[in-house]
Amino acid sequence: MGGISGKKRGKIMITIRLKDGKELHFENEVTLFEAAKKISNSLAKDVLVAKVDGELTDIRNNITDGTQVEFFTKADKEGLFTLRHTAAHVMAQAIQHLYPGTKFAIGPAIDDGFYYDLESDHVFSQEDFVAIEKEMAKISKANLPIEKKILSRNEALEFFRSRNQDYKVILIQDLPEDAIVSTYTQGDFTDLCRGPHVRSTGKLKVFKLMTVAGAYWRGDEHNKMLQRIYATAFFDKEELDQFLFVRAEAEKRDHRKLGKQLNLFSFHEEGPGFPFFHPKGMVIRNELIAYERELFREFGYEEIMTPIILSKKLWLQSGHWDHYKENMYTTQIDGEDFAIKPMNCPGGMLVYKAEPRSYKDLPLRVGELGLVHRHEKSGQLHGLMRVRCFTQDDAHIFMTPEQIKDEIKGVANLIDQVYKLFGFKYHVELSTRPEDSMGSDEDWEVATEGLRGALDDLGLDYVVNEGDGAFYGPKIDFHLEDSIGRTWQCGTIQLDFQLPQRFELEYTGADGEKHRPIMIHRVVYGSVERFIGILIEHFAGAFPTWLAPVQVKVLPISDKYADYGKKVLDALHEAGIRAEMDTRSEKIGYKIREAQGQKIPYMLIAGAKEEEAGLVSVRSRFAGDEGQRSLEQFIADIKEEIASRVNRPVTVETKENK
């Protein structure tokens, strides 16, 4: 109900504020849709959903006095979310028509589409999707108005019991006795739902059913297994086509599949969520770590290592025990409680405290490639992207208040250098104080403005995420974009006043007095394991030469030329190039195809002509047949390519790089 802000000739006056600060006034209660119509007829035509004081709200709802209102159309992610929520209802209605007696559980919109969990005697498969989509198209063409209705808890229970919708009844029973329940009806289908929804089914024109899977009711393995149908929806067919292209590309690039194909890593039931790196995977891992150690030297970092297991007392002092203990593995040593570290920072605090510090020592940049463990639920594990142990490329920078901006800029430049090396575009987000945080308002203000000022000085565009910071300080997140347009959050800069206070860190200032340092937490890869997974998918397993586990494959045309091949191989090894030789008695075409399947950057073919002239025939993943070259020249060229860490562009479409 709208509140009373004043009276004019005996009428109720209601005022709302728009995002741009303008105010709208109404003499009686109206819906958000009617409020949009007052702004403009074009907005009323396009509006799909609104936010009221930051909360997504159905446009059928009445306006409330004194609130801030923002409207969204199909151009906004909120509009797409609302369309997909409605699409879940349309899919459920189509299933109800085709498979009467189906019981519906929940059907939310999700990041890339929507799903509905249901119970049915019919076992759904992808063969059913064409018929369901056809029925959905009929419902869309009918352009059924979607009507919201408010019921009491008892009325809602009676309604859904009469329709044998057991899961809806359970959901309503979980509500308080005095709860107000909303339903949405389109034609002959009514669903229990909080909304929001678009105004009619005609808005839904572009959709596709994707997969069907099993899902326990409420995610509890002790409950009944339901069927979950995943689907997606868009406003334009071009957007759907792009989504399907990226999805197909992602399946081809799946790091779990390529990791097995390229013999990089594996997972075993003896350690669920704990990756096993094979020799070739270790090459990639070690090259990434070696590169970051070069950056340590270039940007003035010192490297440390801290223990994996530390006393519970430390985690209580740091605040992690109160905020993170559900994700920590614990043990006992000599009757005392200990925890395996989920983060490196508390160990870094102890290193700082190990000796007296002066303002002349600051900024002190301390890096650690530290192994951490976090208890992730088994259902959330996903290859290298979500594991239970991983290496964080952590660094902590201790500094004076005057050094904040320059240090943040230095880290941002370091991250920029790394992402450009791999060909990643990226965007930046600034996250501010969350509700569950510690520290004074003044500290948070100084910290947030320090981050904001550094971004402004660098000229970086950024989005502000209100309330999404860490519990100890605001942060800058770097979201990189891979070769098929997906985004991944990797690099982070977090400014922290709290841990230096909790650990009573000090330095002696120029005035001879004790002062508290300020600290930056920063990661570039984030998790080395996850970054490897991202790189596998970004490059589709075809790594730049400097990062490739095997850089050159020597291919003798027959056994007769194995000795010459071995001579070539020895010269490559002596030059520090990672090389192998295929000594099998197979035809050269088969050997080439095998090397292509392993995505090896270079193949050197050794036969009669090559041996006689002391040359090698070069075939590359980038340009196909590159002709003959002296071995000395090839070695000089590839060493330069490796040393510069260049990502050589593909100039000819070959089987190797398709």
Residues designated as active site: 345, 374, 392, 394, 396, 475, 521
The length of the chain, given as a count of residues: 658
Residue showing tokens 């590309």: 249
**CA dist 164 → 118, 157, 190, 578 (Å):** 13, 10, 13, 66
Cβ atoms of residues 240 and 206 within 8 Å: yes
Cβ atoms of residues 186 and 39 within 8 Å: no
Distance in angstroms (rounded) separating the CA atoms of residues 296 and 395: 9
Distance in angstroms (rounded) separating the CA atoms of residues 448 and 495: 8
Phi-psi region of 476 (alpha: psi -120 to 50; beta: other; left: phi over 0): beta
Residue 605: exposure state from Cβ atoms within 10 A (0-12, 13-18, ≥19): buried
Locate 53 and state its tokens.
């004081």
Secondary structure of residue 547 in the 3-state scheme: coil
* Beta pairing partners, 69: 18, 52
Core vs surface per residue 117-141: b (16+ CB within 10 A) or e: bbbeeeebeeebbeebeebbeebbe
Helix or strand holding residue 522 (H, E)? strand 518-527
Which residues, in sequence order, are CB contacts of 464 under 8 Å at separation 6+?
Answer: 429, 430, 431, 432
Distance in angstroms (rounded) separating the CA atoms of residues 357 and 185: 68
Distance in angstroms (rounded) separating the CA atoms of residues 3 and 93: 37
Distance in angstroms (rounded) separating the CA atoms of residues 326 and 207: 39
Amino acid at 131: A
Locate 90 and state its tokens.
């349309």
Which residues, in sequence order, are CB contacts of 254 under 8 Å at separation 6+?
Answer: 383, 537
Distance in angstroms (rounded) separating the CA atoms of residues 564 and 219: 62
Phi-psi region of 627 (alpha: psi -120 to 50; beta: other; left: phi over 0): left
Distance in angstroms (rounded) separating the CA atoms of residues 448 and 418: 25
Cβ atoms of residues 293 and 304 within 8 Å: no
Distance in angstroms (rounded) separating the CA atoms of residues 222 and 177: 27
Residue 427: exposure state from Cβ atoms within 10 A (0-12, 13-18, ≥19): middle
Secondary structure of residue 477 in the 3-state scheme: strand
Nearest to 38, CA basis, from 56, 58, 63: 63
